[in-house]
A and B are shown apart, each in its own frame.
Chain A
Amino acid sequence: DVKVTQSSRYLVKRTGEKVFLECVQDMDHENMFWYRQDPGLGLRLIYFSYDVKMKEKGDIPEGYSVSREKKERFSLILESASTSQTSMYLCASSLSHTIYFGEGSWLTVV
C-alpha cells in the first residue's frame, strides 16, 4: 500500500510563528503536493513538486513556501503564520495517474 505520512496531525501555533509541516512518502513517487481544505472551498493546491529541488506554485501559494531536498520528503513552510491559515493541510504524492493523500494536518493559528 502507498503510504503518505504527515508528521503532525494537530498543531496550535501563534500568529507570526514560523511553521513547518512535514510529509514523507515511501513509494518513490515523482510528484508531491500540498493542498489545504476548507469548508465550502474544497481542496486548493498550494504548491507541488515534480522532482527534488523543483517546485511549482499552485492556486494559492501566497504566505507559503516549500522545500524538497529529498525525493521522499516535501515540507510546507508558513513563514509567518496568520489566523487565515487555520485549516486542514493535506500532503499527497503521485506516480502515473493516481494521487494518494496523507491523513492531514489540522493547523490552528491563534
Chain B
Amino acid sequence: LAKTTQPISMDSYEGQEVNITCSHNNIATNDYITWYQQFPSQGPRFIIQGYKTKVTNEVASLFIPADRKSSTLSLPRVSLSDTAVYYCLVGDTLAMNYGGSQGNLIFGKGTKLSVKP
C-alpha cells in the first residue's frame, strides 16, 4: 500500500506561491493522486487530481515527476482564505468497484497551511 508523507505545517504570506509536497514511494501503477482542501468543521473539498506529469486548473497546479513517487501541489498567489489543511490522497477508487480492494486509498496526515497578511 502506498504510504503518504506530507509536512505537518507551512507558513506563507499573501501573494506568495506555495508548494506542498507529498511523498508516496509505494504508489501502484493504477493509483491516482488527488489533493483536497479542508476548512475547520467542513468536509474535504476536491482541488485537483493527476496521474502523471503536470495538471493545472483554475485554482492550482499539480506536478508529478516521472517516477510518481512524489507530487507537489502548487497554489499561486495565496490569500488569507487559503489558510486550511491540505491532504493528498493516493489510490484508485475504480479498484473498489464490484467489491474490489478497499485498502488502496491512503490519505496523508495533512499539511496545515497558514497564510499571513
Residues of chain A having any CB pair with chain B under 8 Å: 4, 30-31, 42-43, 45, 48, 50-51, 54, 56-58, 88, 90, 92, 94-104, 106
B109 at the interface (CB under 8 A from A): yes
Q: Chain A residues near B13: list those with CB within 8 A.
A: none
Cβ contact within 8 Å between B96 and A31: yes
Cβ contact within 8 Å between A96 and B94: yes
**B99 is contacted by which of A4, A54, A100, A101 (Cβ under 8 Å)?**
A54
**A98 is contacted by which of B93, B96, B109, B110 (Cβ under 8 Å)?**
B93
Q: Chain A residues near B93: list those with CB within 8 A.
A: 31, 94-99
Cβ contact within 8 Å between B102 and A45: yes
What separation, in Å, do the CA atoms of A92 and B87 have in the docked complex?
15
Tier of interface size on chain B = 20 to 34
Cβ contact within 8 Å between B49 and A42: no
Q: Chain A residues near B92: list those with CB within 8 A.
A: 97
What separation, in Å, do the CA atoms of A50 and B95 have in the docked complex?
10
Given contacts A30-B97, A96-B93, contact A58 B46 (CB under 8 A): no
B100 at the interface (CB under 8 A from A): yes
Q: Chain B residues near A48: list those with CB within 8 A.
A: 96, 102
Cβ contact within 8 Å between A102 and B94: no
CB closest residue in chain B, given A101: B43
The B74-117 residues at the A interface (CB cut-off 8 A) are 87, 89, 92-94, 96-100, 102, 105, 107-110
CB closest residue in chain A, given B89: A99
CB closest residue in chain A, given B108: A42
Q: How far is the CB of A19 from chain B (nearest CB, A)?
A: 19
Q: Chain A residues near B61: list those with CB within 8 A.
A: none
Given contacts A48-B96, A98-B49, contact A58 B107 (CB under 8 A): no
Cβ contact within 8 Å between A56 and B102: yes
Given contacts A42-B110, A56-B99, A58-B102, contact A97 B94 (CB under 8 A): yes
Cβ contact within 8 Å between B43 and A104: yes
CB closest residue in chain A, given B43: A101
